Amino acid sequence: MERRVVITGVGVVTPVGNTVKEFWDNLVSGRSGIDRVKSFDPSHLPSQIAGEVKNFDPKDYFEPKEARKLDRFTQLGFAAAYQAVKDAGVDFSHIRPADAGVVTGAGIGGINTLENQHRVLLNKGERFVSPFLIPAMIPDMLPGCISMRFGIRGPNYSVSSACASSAHAIGLAYRHIKNGDVSIIITGGAESTITPLSFAGFCNMRALSTRNDAPQKASRPFDKNRDGFVMAEGAGILVLEDLEHAMKRNAKIYAEIAGFGFSGDAYHMTAPDPEGKGQIEVMETAIASSGLKKSDIQYINAHGTSTPLNDKIETKAIKAVFGELAKEINISSTKSVTGHLLGAAGAVEAIALTLAITEKVIPPTINYEEPDPECDLNYTPNKPVEKEIFAGLTNSFGFGGHNATIVIKKFE
């Protein structure tokens, strides 16, 4: 018999809050976390705004010497994992080490470390480059760090599929439990790429919003005047468990993961397929795998990046999948509040969907001011909506044509 997979713990570090409560309160209230970049001087760049994590101190989670060996993305990811494990109330010393796993995602990984050490190389020479450059930089250091702290010896790896990375990680973790590989997995993702090099690359791609005079208005998914996404950093981590395992230890259960889908566009390095073929396929696959009817889906946490192409094509794909039902579904893009957390976005948005189900509130798409004729669905504009949600889905689409959809439903 296939196992059921439930969510028993969540943790976040985001531009709108470093705890789940603060994150959720700001999401529902529509308080933007976007501001002018503080971590470096952006004045020479076309885009000068981002969603930076505020008031984060790695010493809350690490000894100072240990923190210095880790890139910021690993620090943020571990902090979210620590919160999620505490929230789940799980003691890994009471679990057989090989019956637990860690699967996380990062689209880029330790680029802060790479840039800093490259400057050391140019200014001082190779002898001064840190011996921790490689271990700090590689994306799999996050699951490695988590597993070492909690003594976990089951599946342990990182996924990299651009902005779908952490959604893919959750999907793979879900499958590990369904297949009986392990009973409990820490999963999600982290990203921290607010650096001069990353900004230069995205700016030259013309992917970022240049609404520098009004940062909190810059991320405006599905609005007619959207002009690009806003880069953000942070982490989202979930504890997934086999239902029987969770019930044996009397764990609180947030919701159940009901289905998951993968697909590829096979179209372009950065642009989505203009007909949304991969996006249609991934939503259809995820819903079919869940055993739910399309009418059961009452909320979609959209990928909704605030770029001209993405929002239009995602809307087209939703309409193709749901037909007339599409107009009845509440859709929102929480990126309007947080910015785009790149490889961490899927996990943070899966947590937003989970909380929407448990709290019975759909967070809004803020900055929705002028409708776009090509984006003509219900995007839950500017104000939250109280609603009993039986099931919802969250979309994540990455450069390279990588698509992931997670279906989450109310636990019964």
In terms of Cα–Cα distance, which of 171, 188, 178, 155 is closest to 262?
171
> Could you tell me the end-to-end alpha-carbon distance of the chain, in angstroms, rounded to an integer?
18
- The alpha carbon of 1 is separated from its chain's Cα centroid by a whole number of angstroms, namely 31
DSSP codes joined into one string, 129-157 = S-TTHHHHHSTTHHHHHHHHHHT--S-EE
Asked if residue 232 lies in contact with residue 338, where contact means CB atoms within 8 angstroms, the answer is yes
- Residues marked active site are found at 163, 303, 340
CA–CA gap between residue 212 and residue 222 (Å, rounded) = 19
DSSP codes joined into one string, 151-176 = T--S-EEEE-BTBTHHHHHHHHHHHH
Structure token pair of residue 50: 């981002």
Of the CA atoms within 13 Å of residue 296, those in its CB half-sphere come to 16
Asked if residue 307 lies in contact with residue 270, where contact means CB atoms within 8 angstroms, the answer is no
CA–CA gap between residue 244 and residue 249 (Å, rounded) = 9
**Lookup result for tokens 């760049």:** 45
CA–CA gap between residue 221 and residue 367 (Å, rounded) = 8
Pairing of strands 49-50, 184-191: unpaired
Degrees to nearest 5, angle at CA 235 with 230 and 236: 115
Asked if residue 107 lies in contact with residue 161, where contact means CB atoms within 8 angstroms, the answer is yes
Pairing of strands 391-398, 297-301: parallel
Buried b (16+ CB within 10 A) or exposed e, 83-113: bbbebbebebeebeeebbbbbbbbbbbbbbb
